[in-house]
Structure 1
Amino acid sequence: MNTYYSVFLFIYAFLGLSYYNAAITPNTKCKNGFLAQMSNHLECRCNENFVHVSNDTCEKKVECSVDTVDKACGEFSKCVMHENEGKATYTCDCINAYAVKGDICVPETCQNIECGFGKCIINEDAVNDPPICSCNIGYVVNTEDGNKCTTEGDTKCSLVCGEEHQICKKINDFYRCDCDEGFKLNVEEEKCVSHSIYSMLNLSVIFVILLLFSNII
């Protein structure tokens, strides 16, 4: 019985590790975020006020305190309690396998790597390979400059925007699927609706609120 239990724990841990290190693909569903493309990789980016807890999952960012221990307080970091001589302090520490670089947490193997106009990434399908630089859109790797992102160049969008009225757009330094011209994202329904319909929905909500308020008065 103990042998079966040990095997079960091993499989469970392996699957958990595989899930955590799973490479981001065009089919990845980013929790509380969206799929973004840089020059050499895809990644999940978090919605506003959310931070990464794993490659494909973002959680609401909290202020580190006694009430938020183990909660996400920054990118790939969580609130940790430290006790010294009976006094507790709370700090926002990097999660396992991440280390501080500047004011953010990055993979430990990327801590001393500079990429120029890009970021250091790990190949999750071959974790024993050395990390590489993935460039902001508009830059490509310069093989004569230590494979840093210091050369201007184009990268085509490879994202598959399957939702209706969505197209691939360059937003700042990355590509993402966004609403086409004349459409706006309805956050609650997670779909693109026309500006006119969106405006009508907002006006309807305002009208109902005013009507309820007038009845209360």
Structure 2
Amino acid sequence: MTPSTPALLVCALVLCGLEDQVRSQRGLCAGNQCFAFFKEPEDFPGAQKSCKDSGGQMYTLSPEHVHDIVNVSGIYWVELSSAEQPEEEALHSCPSISVSGGKITLQREPCLHTRNGFLCQYTFEQPCSRVQTRPGEQVTYTTPMDFKVDDSETFPPGTIAVTVKVGGTYAELRQVCVSKGWMKAPWSCEVLGGGCDHNCNAETKTCVCPPGKVLHRNNISCTEDPCEENPCTGEGEECENTREGFQCTCRDNFIKEDGACVDNSICQMCEHMICVKLDGVYQCRCTKGFKVADNPTKCEMICQGKDCPAKCNVNGTCYCPYGYITDVRDGNGSPTVCTDINECDMGQCEHKCENLFGSYRCSCNKGFELHRDGNTCVSIVEVEEDGSGSTPRPYPTTAGAHPAAVPSYIKTGSVLGITVFMALCAALLFLLGRNALKHCGSFQLSSFKHPDINIFYLQQVTSETYKRLSLDKQLKSES
């Protein structure tokens, strides 16, 4: 039996021109077979074992079709068919090919002698075709038998195809041949480590990297962490790894505007979810009928009259706008209302006071004008001209509305507490006065009493008695 011409051609293609490459164990695949040339010193039994351990067998060669088509110097073990190998010779010598000067010679060597290498062949099913590439890309194929094949048209299952850009460092894509098709990495971690360069996470089926390195954009390789030296130093910036390296992004509560990160954290807390930017600063705004409260993130209702409904929470606590206090008009479950505070009753203004809903306004009598504090009045002093002009009026300000003097958090209970306190003070004063009167009733003015002064108690007398007493007093005076 003689081998077919394609088999000899495969052998020639494997050996021809590969003198520098065979050290890395290269081969060729055609149809459903692969042929590999291993330049590893072995004796014949060792060569057979190596082929078997890698899933193949020694390459079967017929001497009738060996001719001068290769130029790889050395002696390499091959196999002959049993029909072509003499039985008596098979016990002591084994077939090999000698390559020298471009010539291939079939010869027999002692089986236990060490030669330069050996050839193996492999048979498989469901091969994969070549991987499609784009301009500027190249692919390397490594078979599961651990030899590379680059010029083949078919590849055995388990072959790894790595696509790289010409001159590139990292792979663009890594795939494995499975059932006539290519599967992209990362795949199941149980199969060849998922195709990851470093490690594979079995739970997430993703590639992971050691500390100080980050996953490359190909999702299988690890690169140095570009954010380690913190290249993003702008306010509100942080470094983020990308497939191209890194980019500076805005931290939480910052947004990108005109190339800079701007703090808009207050916008997340606006009660009515309205946020505007004024003079480069974000501020909360309220819907119609409301205004921003003392807390710049809260909104309070605008009262247009003396009374308006109070804003109550689920706990029954009610709140009123600035310048109003809560007031419960009756105890029949009526809603709590907010009533205007009359600041004029509290003596806020020095001269004149006008109460407004939620505020007040001060004004001054003729000859005075309002001080810059908005409450007191100062005299308008006219200075006669002395050649240097007149002295300007002190504190020239315009009267305006004041915010309420009583903060909005003052409740009806506070007013009631003040009233009770004042009543207790009045009662105390009354008791002190009463006690003082008791002591004064028994007080004797002894220092003012003269020996000649007769003190008479008032009693009912007749006209005759009165005349007699008056006459006695007159006679006494004359004597």
Which TM-score applies when normalising by structure 1? 0.29
Relative contact order higher in (CA < 8 Å, ≥ 6 apart): 1
Higher-Rg structure is 2
Choose between structure 1 and 2: higher strand proportion.
Answer: 1
